[in-house]
Amino acid sequence: MTDRTCLTIVLAAGEGTRMKSATPKVLHKVAGLPMVGHVAKAALAAGGGDVAVVVGRGADEVRSAIKPFAPGVETFVQTERLGTGHAVLAARAAIERGYDDILVMFGDAPLIEADSLIRARQLIANGNAVVVVGFRTAEPAGYGRLIEAGGALMAIREDKDCTYEERKIGYCNGGLMALDGRKALSLLDRVGNSNAKGEYYLTDIVEIANAQGLKVASTQASFEALLGVNNRAELAEAEAIWQRRARRKAMLDGVTMIAPETVFLSHDTQIGADTIVEPHVVFGPGARIAGNVTIHSFSHIEDADVAEAAEIGPYARLRPGAKLGKKSKVGNFVEIKKADIADGAKVNHLTYIGDAEIGAGANIGAGTITCNYDGYNKHVTRIGAGAFIGSNSSLVAPVTIGVDAYVASGSVITGDVPDEALAFGRARQDVKPGRAKELRAKYAAEKARRSGKQG
C-alpha cells in the first residue's frame, strides 16, 4: 500500500461520561499507553499516513498522546455532538487535501490490529468506495447488522430497526470504516439527520453509496479487535486482552514465562529470546531486556536497559535510568535508579543505588545506600571496577570509590577513596564490662515505676 496516500481520522470527541472521570476517555491507558495512542500506532502500521484527530475537550493532551507516533498529527474540534457523520466532517480541511484512502477509526477501540486496516485499504484500492469492518457473534443483540446481498454490503441496520429475520444476522458493524478519498466528501455531505435524534450517522453512507451505484464491501475482524471501551470494567477487559496477546507473542518469540497470566507488559516492552520471566513481574513503559536474562518473581522494571545474561530479583525494582551490564546481578529488595551497573557487578540484597556508576565486577554489600539527595540537589556516586563495599555502608554523594578499593562494613563514607585503598568510616567500638546487668536493672525499675503510676 506504499503507493497510495492515506488519511486516518480518529474520532475522539466523546465525553466518556460512563468512565466517571475528569480525564477524557481516550486518554485512559491500556498497557501504559492512552487508548488513542494504540489506535494511532495501528493506523500507522497499516500505512495510515497523516493523522487527524477530532476532539472535544483535552485537545492538547490527546495531541500529545499521538505525537510520538505521528509527529504531524492535526486536531480538529467538534464543538457540537451531532453524530459520527458530523464528527468526521469536522476534519473537512484535511479531507479536502485529497487522499487515495481514508480510514475512520474510534479513539476508544485500542485493540484494533494493522492487518484489518490493511485489508480494508486493499478493498478500497480494488475499487470499493466504502468498506466497513465487521465482526461475527452468536449474540448480536444491540449491534447494528451488516446487510449483504450478492457479496456486496447493502446497508447497516440498527438493532432496533431490524426486521425479525435481520435480527438473526450475526454479522455486525464494528464501527471502523475505510473510504475512497476521492469520493468521501460527496458521500459525507449527503448524510442527513432525519432521525429521532436529529444526528448525522456515518453508517448512512453505505446506503448513500449504493444509491449512487458505487461499490460497497465489508471485511471481517475479531470481536476483540473491535472492542470499544465505555467504562472502567471494559477498560479492564481491554487490558486483559492486550496482555494476553502480548504475552503470547513474547513467548512465541522465545521468552519463557513460567506463569504468564501473572506477568504484565507495557506497550513498548522489549524482551530478548531465552529470557526467563518468573511469576508476578511487572514491566512499566520503556523496559528493554536483552536475551538470556533471568528475572525472578515480584520484580518491577521501568524505563531501564538490561544487558545479556543479567539476573534480576526477586523483589527488585529498576527505576528510570537503570542500566545493567552483561552478567550483572541485582538481587532481592534492591532498588536501582538512574544508575549504570557495569558488566559482572553485583548488588545482591537490601540496597539502594541511585545516581551512580558501578564499575565492572564491583560487589555492593547488603544494606548499602548511595545518599544521593541533599534535600535540594542530586549528586553522583562513582564506584570503581572491582571495588568491594561492605554491608550497611552509606556513601554520601558526591563521592568516588576507587578501583579495587575496599569499604569496611558499617561505614559512612563522605570523602573519596583512592584505588586499592581501605576505608573505615565508623566509630571505634567501646566495651564496658558489667554494664549490661546495670542497664537491665535500671530499665526494669523505670518500667515498674511507670506501671505503678498507671495503676
- Active-site residues, by number, are 349
Whether 212 and 263 have beta carbons less than 8 Å apart is answered as: no
| Concatenated DSSP letters of 396-419 | ESSEEE-TT-EE-TT-EE-S-B-T
Q: Enter the C-alpha cell of residue 17.
A: 461520561
Amino acid at 394: S
Q: Enter the C-alpha cell of residue 366.
A: 547488603
Residue 431: half-sphere exposure toward Cβ, Cα within 13 Å: 1
Measured CA to CA, the distance from residue 214 to residue 130 in angstroms comes to 8
With b for 16 or more beta-carbon neighbours within 10 A and e for fewer, the 282-294 pattern comes to bbbebbbbbebbb
Q: Enter the C-alpha cell of residue 334.
A: 534492591
Residue 18: half-sphere exposure toward Cβ, Cα within 13 Å: 10
Cis check: omega of the bond before 320, within 30 degrees of 0 = no
Question: Is beta strand 29-30 parallel, antiparallel or unpaired with respect to 33-34?
Answer: antiparallel
Measured CA to CA, the distance from residue 63 to residue 66 in angstroms comes to 5
List the one residue out of 237, 266, 319 whose CA is nearest residue 33: 266
Whether 231 and 167 have beta carbons less than 8 Å apart is answered as: no
Name the 3-class secondary structure at 441. helix
Cis check: omega of the bond before 314, within 30 degrees of 0 = yes
Name the 3-class secondary structure at 293. coil
Amino acid at 85: G
List the one residue out of 316, 346, 292, 365 whose CA is nearest residue 304: 316
With b for 16 or more beta-carbon neighbours within 10 A and e for fewer, the 344-364 pattern comes to bbbbbbbbbbbbbbbbbbbbb
Q: Which residue has the cell 443483540?
A: 141
Name the 3-class secondary structure at 147. strand
Whether 23 and 35 have beta carbons less than 8 Å apart is answered as: no
Q: CB under 8 Å to 244, separation ≥6 — which residues?
A: none
List the one residue out of 107, 96, 74 whose CA is nearest residue 176: 107
Name the 3-class secondary structure at 188. helix
